[in-house]
Amino acid sequence: MSLPDHDRSAGIKPRKLADEVQERLLRLIRAEGLGPGDALPSERELMTRYEIGRPAIREAMQALQHRGIIEIRHGGRPRVAEPSLDGLIGQLGTGVQHLLAHTSSMDHLKEARAALEAEMARIAARRRNEADIGALEALLAAQEFATEEPERFLEIDGKFHRRIAAISANPIFETLAAGIFDWMRDFHVEGVRKVGLEALTVTEHRAILDAIIAADPEAAAQAMRDHLERANALYHQDHFQ
């Protein structure tokens, strides 16, 4: 099964050829019903099958690995990767960094985060159990203890928000909440950390948790929104005054 003649012509850039190989490999995975851990043909087999050189094969393989679709291990055949929402969110990092260079994009992300996490708090107040409450209490205690350790404090902050989202039992919600926090931490840390206001953050987290414990969905959502909108307002105050 060779590529069309026009794909092998001198006027086609190697990148275009690698794109075609990617599409064919994706069709191969679907057509043969390959799942996580299943092996793909070797580079040599693909070179023979598609009648093209090794560089285009490798470029296509590397692109699929970057997309989280296959795994490439030294000395072994490429295999279909295990699906991972966390991995997918992580792979978006470079694009997100470019996106967040624009103030309007950061504003949109913060607005989306506030809406998502307010709903996560609302759901958590409805569905939480004793184990959830215990986990959140432990995180809040650890965060209060870490007020003099900025990096540790921020790490626990992210875990607190992710744990609330996890109560939804929807892994997409949990991963999105964690991903947005991580993007802001990595590319605009001012959006998730305000030095000197650690005690206020702990107080606001306590208000969120108290509403969740009380099984009050609307109070939990409002406490979360107040918390995030306060942080957003401080960000704007620092950057636009």
Same domain, 72 and 182: no
Domain-terminating residue out of 83, 106, 128: 83
Residue 124 burial (C-beta neighbours within 10 Å; 0-12, 13-18, 19+): buried
CB-CB contact of 79 with 71 (8 Å): yes
Low-confidence ranges of the chain (pLDDT < 50): 1, 4-14, 236-241
Residue whose tokens read 């870490």: 146
Which residue segment(s) compose the domain that 216 sits in?
A: 89-240
Query: Token pair of 217, please?
Result: 């969905």
Do 30 and 106 belong to one domain? Answer: no
- Here the CATH number for the domain that contains residue 184 is 1.20.120.530
What pLDDT does 209 receive?
98
Total count of domains within the chain: 2
Which of 39, 63, 83 corresponds to the end of one domain?
83
Q: 156 Cβ partners below 8 Å, 6+ apart?
A: 139, 142, 143, 146
Per-residue pLDDT reduced to its tens digit, 32-44: 888 888 999 988 9
pLDDT computed for residue 14 by the predictor:
46
Q: What is the pTM of this model?
A: 0.64
Residue labelled with tokens 């990148």 = 15
Centroid of chain to Cα 76: 29
**pLDDT for residue 236:** 46
Alpha carbon distances (Å) from 235 to 99, 115, 195: 18, 18, 12
Nearest 5°: CA angle at 223, between 196 and 150? 25
- pLDDT of the residue at 192: 55
The pLDDT value given to residue 91: 60
Of 57, 83, 109, which residue sits at a domain end? Answer: 83
